[in-house]
Chain A
Amino acid sequence: MSEKNLLEASGIDVQDIEKFLEGLAGCEESFMKVIEYCETRVTAEEGIPAIIGLDDLTGGAKKTFTPAPADEGLGLIQGLAALIFAYYYDKSGKVEDPYPAIAPAMSAMAEKFFRIAPYREVVKDFVKEEQK
């Protein structure tokens, strides 16, 4: 049985998956915009957002965490975004050894998902007010 037939037999609509993948392809420009923005940051002088993983090396059993209410459901979306950023970084050839593409990808993902877009506006407005 072909992969397509297998999916159909399982009740999954192949067209939905194809639409999802086409949607991803359509997102390349917006992801690349974030990557380009990240390259303009002055890391020595600006607040640079990051999202870092938590690993318990003491043998703690907790692997799955319950986030704050505002973060519920965000983990999967952020995770997928991190993978896509890593792919585009890798593809762009902008990543230098020994750092893996996921390192700048996590930073780009944090920039996009830190609710930084509205935050940038808030900061700009605040600075304007202060300078009046």
Chain B
Amino acid sequence: MSFDLQAFAQSVTKDKRTMEMFRYLLNNSYIRVINYHRTNKEDIPRFEAEIKYYAEHFSPVTVEDMDRFFDTGVWHKERPGLIPAIFEGYRCHYDYMLPILDKYNFTGWFYVPGFFMDVPYEEQLEFAQSHHLRTDIPEEYQHDKRIAMSWEEMEEISRRHVICCHTGSHFQITKTTSDEDMQREIVESKRRIESHIQKPVDVFCWLYGEEYSYYDRAHKFIEEAGYKYVVGNLKMERVRK
């Protein structure tokens, strides 16, 4: 058996992002993330085991830790950093994931669509279904139909964890997205969250792992909003100090 070096070389040089990622890893310019979406009640033991393990082997990461890493080029904690990234602003995150993170003193980054919380309870499932969010209401929430975390819950989370903007309505921004939609989904969504948690939202995350640097037109809205970091599924970009 032999390794087809020529085919390998052709394959990995086909898309510039491949060698770009290799360069980041080679230069130790990376951070670990663990992505969560639905955190179901029945999975609490598994989530607790995971977070317990992470707390034992990794360091929690705050926005200030990232600032320092970028500024100095040195990871200043004994253990490598790890970000539990909790997506979509679900009520179950507050009910089940938050207590676990708090128990093990581990910082979560909660990526929330900023307009989800304003949707009336009875309409949240329909909103979720039409915006690529969850498609069901867990049994324990059937009594009031609320599946998004409330603003009060988000404010409480923000005291110990990082709240990030995941667009306003879980909206996929593409190269053809209008300025009006970008303004609403990038800028207004940030303002909406900040008005409730009373602190700056520094991190924006695209849907489906898109990357800021490929979206020239989005630049002006990211800047106008005042984000510090833009996150995709391949990288985190610092856009403002």
Q: Which residues of A contact B40 (CB under 8 A)?
A: 45
Q: Which residues of B contact A87 (CB under 8 A)?
A: 7-8, 11-12
Is B239's CB within 8 Å of the partner chain A?
yes
User: Which one, A22, A63, A65, A130, contacts B74 given CB within 8 A?
Assistant: A65
Which residue of the partner chain A has the closest CB to B211?
A: A55
- Closest Cβ of chain B: how far from A40's Cβ, in Å? 15
User: Which one, A83, A102, A115, contacts B57 given CB within 8 A?
Assistant: A115
Which residue of the partner chain A has the closest CB to B52?
A: A126
CB-based contact B240/A58 at 8 Å: yes
Q: Which residues of A contact B178 (CB under 8 A)?
A: none
CB-based contact B239/A52 at 8 Å: no
CB-based contact A22/B1 at 8 Å: yes
Q: How large is the interface on B (under 10, 10 to 19, 20 to 34, 35 or more residues)?
A: 35 or more
How long is the Cα–Cα vector from A26 to B25 in the complex, in angstroms? 24
- Given A26-B1, A52-B33; A67-B75 close (CB under 8 Å): yes
How long is the Cα–Cα vector from A84 to B26 in the complex, in angstroms? 14
- Specify the main secondary structure of chain B where it touches its partner: mixed
Q: Which of B45-62 contact A (CB under 8 A)?
A: 45-50, 52-53, 57, 59
CB-based contact B241/A58 at 8 Å: yes
- Closest Cβ of chain A: how far from B166's Cβ, in Å? 15
Q: Which of A34-62 contact B (CB under 8 A)?
A: 43-45, 47-58, 60, 62
How long is the Cα–Cα vector from A84 to B12 in the complex, in angstroms? 8
- Closest Cβ of chain B: how far from A105's Cβ, in Å? 8
CB-based contact A49/B34 at 8 Å: yes
Is A94's CB within 8 Å of the partner chain B?
no
Which residue of the partner chain A has the closest CB to B5?
A: A21
CB-based contact A119/B53 at 8 Å: yes
Which of B7, B27, B57, B236 has the most CB atoms of chain A within a 10 A radius of its CB?
A: B27
User: Which one, B23, B31, B34, B49, contacts A126 given CB within 8 A?
Assistant: B49
Using a Cβ–Cβ cut-off of 8 Å, how many residues does chain A contribute to the interface with B? 60
10 smallest CB-CB distances across A and B, nearest first, come from A53-B24, A126-B49, A79-B25, A62-B73, A53-B235, A100-B15, A25-B3, A130-B45, A68-B80, A102-B18
A residues with a Cβ closer than 8 A to B are 21-22, 24-26, 43-45, 47-58, 60, 62-71, 75-76, 78-80, 82-84, 86-87, 90-91, 99-103, 105-106, 110, 114-115, 119, 122-123, 126-127, 130-131
Could you name 28 residue pairs across A and B whose Cβ atoms are closer than 8 Å?
A: A21-B3, A44-B37, A44-B38, A47-B36, A48-B36, A50-B33, A51-B32, A52-B235, A53-B236, A54-B24, A54-B236, A55-B24, A56-B238, A58-B238, A60-B70, A63-B29, A66-B74, A68-B79, A70-B80, A79-B22, A87-B7, A100-B18, A102-B17, A102-B234, A103-B209, A106-B234, A127-B46, A130-B49
